[in-house]
Amino acid sequence: MDLPDGGWIPTPTAEAITAAAVLIWFRRRRRYTPHPAGTRHDADNDLTPLPPTVAAVQAAQTTQPSHQPEARHPAAPEPVHPAALPPGLLTLTGPGAADAMRGLIVTATISAGQRQIVTTADDLAHLLGPDSSGRAWHGIAGLIVTAAIDDAITTATTPHHALPTDAGGRLATSPLLVIASTASISNLSDHLTALSTGTIGPVTTVVLGTAHHGGRTWHVAADGHTTTNDRRRMCVLGPTPAADLLTLARHAHPAAAPTPVHPRREKARLRIQVLGPLQVTIDGTPVSVRRTAAWQALVYLAIHPDGATTEELAEAIWPDLRLHAVTNRIYATISELRKTLHTAAGTPVVERVTDRYRLHPDTSVDLWQLQATIAAASRAITSDARHHALHAVLEQPPGELATGQPWLWLVPHREAIRRQIIDAHTTMAAGKPPPEALRLLEQAITVDPLNEHLHLQAVQALTATGQHAAAADLLDTYRQRITELGLPPGDEL
C-alpha cells in the first residue's frame, strides 16, 4: 500500500493498523460513562480523531476487497517482516534505509507480539526528528527504550521480565536491537561479541549507516526495494507517518502497568510508603531522604508509575517559579534521590527512560499494591472473588496519601485515592446484612468524615438494626461538622 507522502506499507501491516484503530474505538465505547441527557460531547478527550496516517491507511483499506488476499506477481519482492529477520548483524544503507528502519519499528509494535524492539531515546530521536516528543513512543508494549546504548545492549542480551515468553517460560523470540544514531554505531564493535552470544540467544541487530562491522548489508531504495540476491521490499515510512503510527500503537497496545514484584528473601528489600506518613525502609530499617523536594519527587513518581519529565516535576514542586530558574534544583534533587535509594537498595530504584524519570517497576510501593488489589477486584467475575480481593484493603485501611504534607499538587491525587478506598468499602457493604454493612460504612466514614452519602447509608443501617438514637446522634454530629466548615447541609439531611 502506497502512502500519500511516498511511503509503502505491506498489506499485513496495513491490516494490523486498521485492526488497531478499530480496537481503540471499541475501548473508547466500552469505557464511556453515561452523562445526563443533553450533554455535549464535542470536546471529549477520548473522541480525538486518530492520526492522519491512520486515516489514510483505513481509507485505502476500504477500497480493497477485504475478503480476498492481495494479488502478488510471482516475481514481486517479498515483504520483510521483523519476526523473520535472522539473528546477527544487518546494516541498512541507501536512500530508503532510515525509512525502512522506521518501518521495522512500526511494524513490530503495531502487530502486537511480532518481536520485541530495543533501542535508545537518541536513536528514536534520530529517526523521528529532533523535535519529536518522547511521548510518541513512550508506553508501547513491545518497545523498550533505554537512555544509553550500553543499557540497550544489556537489555537485549540478558533475560528481562518484559520480554515475551512461551508457555514453558522460555523467550518466544530474541529481541530486535535497533541502532540508528552515529554515536551508537561508533561504539558497536565493542559489543558485537555480547550481541552474538547473549544469554537469551543471538540478537538481531539492525544498524543504520555505512559502517561495516561484518554481517549482512542491505541497500534499500527510496521505495523500500532491497538490492540483495533474494529481492525483498521493506516497509518505508517518513518521520511523521512513523510518529503517527507509534501513537496508534501506544493506544492500541499500551505497556502493562508496573506491578510490584517481590524479590527473593535473601536480597535487601526496599519499600516505599506513601500512604500515611512518608517512609522509605530497607529490610525494615528507615532510609533517610533529606530534601523535602526529594520527598515530593519520590511521591510524584509513586503516583505516576509511567514516570515524569523534569519539567513536570519542576512544575509540581515549584509552581511559582519559571522552569529555567529551577533547572539546577530539579537535577540536584533527582540526582541525590537516585544516589540515596541506589545506595540503600544496591540496585537502581529511580531510573531514566527516554526523557522521563520513573521508579523501577520492581520497586515495592504501598500505593501500587493498593491499586493492584483494587484492579484485581474490578476484574473479578463473582462477588465472592471481588470481596476476597478487597479483604486486605478493608482489614487495615491505608492512610491518607502523604499524610500531613501540604503540597498543593497532591490534592487531586489524594482525593482520587480516597475515593478508591471509599468505593472498596461501599462495594463490600452492598448486599451485606445491616450489622456488617454498618461496620464497613463506619470504617469508610473514618476515611472521609465529610462524605454525606456515607453518613446517610450508615443512618439507614443503624435504623435497620433498631439503633434509632445512634442514627440521630450520627446525623447531628455530621450536621455540626459541616456547619463549622461553612458547608450547607444537603437536602436529605
pLDDT of residue 170: 41
Structure-derived torsion over alpha carbons of residues 243, 246, 248, 250, reported in degrees to the nearest 10: -130
| Residue 446, C-alpha cell as written in the block | 473514618
Q: Which string of b and e fits 354-384 if b means at least 16 CB within 10 Å?
A: bbbbbbbbebbbbbbbbbbbbeebeeeeeee
Residues 205-233, mean pLDDT to the nearest whole number: 80
Q: Could you tell me what percent of the chain has a pLDDT over 90?
A: 28
Three-state secondary structure call for residue 409: coil
φ and ψ at 204, to 5 degrees?
-85, 120
With cut-offs at 50, 70 and 90, classify the pLDDT of residue 427. Answer: confident
Q: Could you tell me what percent of the chain has a pLDDT over 70?
A: 81
Q: Among residues 93, 83, 17, 85, which one has the least CA distance to residue 55?
A: 17
Q: Among residues 288, 293, 298, which one has the least CA distance to residue 344?
A: 288
Least confident piece of the model among 200-214, 233-247, 462-476: 200-214
pLDDT of residue 183: 60
Residues 136-155, mean pLDDT to the nearest whole number: 78
Task: Provide CB contacts within 8 A for 462, sequence distance 6+.
Answer: 438, 468, 470, 471, 474
Least confident piece of the model among 14-28, 45-59, 266-280, 381-395: 381-395
Greatest CA separation for the chain: 91
The identity of residue 257, as a single letter, is A
430 contacts 462 by C-beta, under 8 angstroms: no
Its sign, for the CA torsion 307, 310, 312, 314, is positive
Q: Which of 73-82, 93-102, 116-125, 173-182 reaches the highest mean pLDDT?
A: 93-102
Provide the whole-model pTM: 0.52
| Residue 301, C-alpha cell as written in the block | 513518581
Alpha-carbon distance values, 370 to 222, 280, 429 (Å): 52, 17, 19
Q: Is residue 195 packed enough to be buried (19+ CB in 10 Å), middle (13-18) or exposed (0-12)?
A: buried
Residues in the chain: 493
Between 354 and 457, residue with greater pLDDT? 457
Least confident piece of the model among 72-76, 234-238, 455-459, 471-475: 72-76
Alpha-carbon distance values, 196 to 140, 153, 157, 215 (Å): 26, 11, 9, 11
pLDDT of residue 278: 96
Between 182 and 451, residue with greater pLDDT? 451
Looking at residue 135, what DSSP letter applies?
G
Pairing of strands 279-282, 285-286: antiparallel
Angle between helices 97-110 and 239-252 (to 10 degrees): 10
- Name 294's bridge partners: none
pLDDT of residue 273: 96
Task: Provide CB contacts within 8 A for 385, sequence distance 6+.
Answer: none
pLDDT of residue 169: 43
Angle between helices 434-447 and 452-464 (to 10 degrees): 160
204 contacts 88 by C-beta, under 8 angstroms: yes
Per-residue model confidence as pLDDT tens digits over 91-114:
899 999 999 999 999 998 887 666
Residues 20-38, mean pLDDT to the nearest whole number: 78
Res. 202: pLDDT tops 70: no
Res. 485: pLDDT tops 90: no
Residues 172-188, mean pLDDT to the nearest whole number: 68
Q: Among residues 345, 349, 311, 347, which one has the least CA distance to residue 330?
A: 311
Three-state secondary structure call for residue 223: coil
Per-residue model confidence as pLDDT tens digits over 379-422:
777 777 777 777 767 776 788 999 999 999 999 999 999 898 88
Average pLDDT, the chain: 81
305 contacts 361 by C-beta, under 8 angstroms: yes
Task: Provide CB contacts within 8 A for 46, sequence distance 6+.
Answer: 28, 31, 32
pLDDT of residue 332: 86
pLDDT of residue 407: 93
pLDDT of residue 28: 80
Res. 484: pLDDT tops 50: yes
What's the CA gap between 80 and 58, in Å, rounded?
A: 21
Angle at 362 between CA 361 and CA 367, to 5 degrees: 75
Between 115 and 207, residue with greater pLDDT? 207
Between 343 and 44, residue with greater pLDDT? 343
What's the CA gap between 461 and 444, in Å, rounded?
A: 14
